[in-house]
Amino acid sequence: MKLSTTILAAAVIAAGTAKAEPVAPGEVQFGDYGGIAESLTGKAGDPENGAKVMKTKSIGNCISCHKVTALSDAPFHGEVGPSLDGVADRWEEAQVRGIVTNAKMTFPGTIMPAYYKTEGFTRPGKAFTGKAAEEPLPPLLTAQQIEDVVAFLMTLSEE
């Protein structure tokens, strides 16, 4: 009995460890409308770090295109994309995760970058200059940064 309890405990720990690995960019499963139902990391995002990613120019820099009143301490909010105020009232978490990961899966014509994509880019620099980077490229954000941004965006409710 003691041996089977030990084996069961080891199996549970191993299963938890396997789930802890982030989903690779090429393995992300998008739904019919571009949503991603499951976390990319298997753990909750940190809204505070998500806010940092959104307003830091060298990381996500989301506010260069989107207005976010909750981030009014950061200057120069853009008007290219829609305001993100109240985004949690307009979209479910899975859809927000999908849009942050690769908005083109929901909005094919968008100019929003795919933050968690490593290949399949249109690279005109290669044809014209020969200087474009070879694929696969690193994703713009890590899986955890995506989850952090999603956690922050889900706090933006107008209620």
Q: Which helix (H) or strand (E) holds 13?
A: helix 2-19
In tens, the pLDDT along 37-93 reads 999 999 999 999 999 999 999 999 999 999 999 999 998 899 999 999 999 999 999
**What domains can be seen in the chain, in order of their start residue?**
22-153 (1.10.760.10)
Counting other chains too, the contacts that 26-29 makes at CB distance below 8 Å and 24 or more residues apart are 26/118, 26/119, 28/101, 28/102, 28/116
In tens, the pLDDT along 12-31 reads 444 444 456 999 999 999 99
Q: What is the mean pLDDT of residues 134-146?
A: 91
Contact 47, 145 (CB under 8 A): no
Give the number of C-alpha atoms closer than 13 A to the C-alpha of residue 140, restricted to the C-beta side.
20
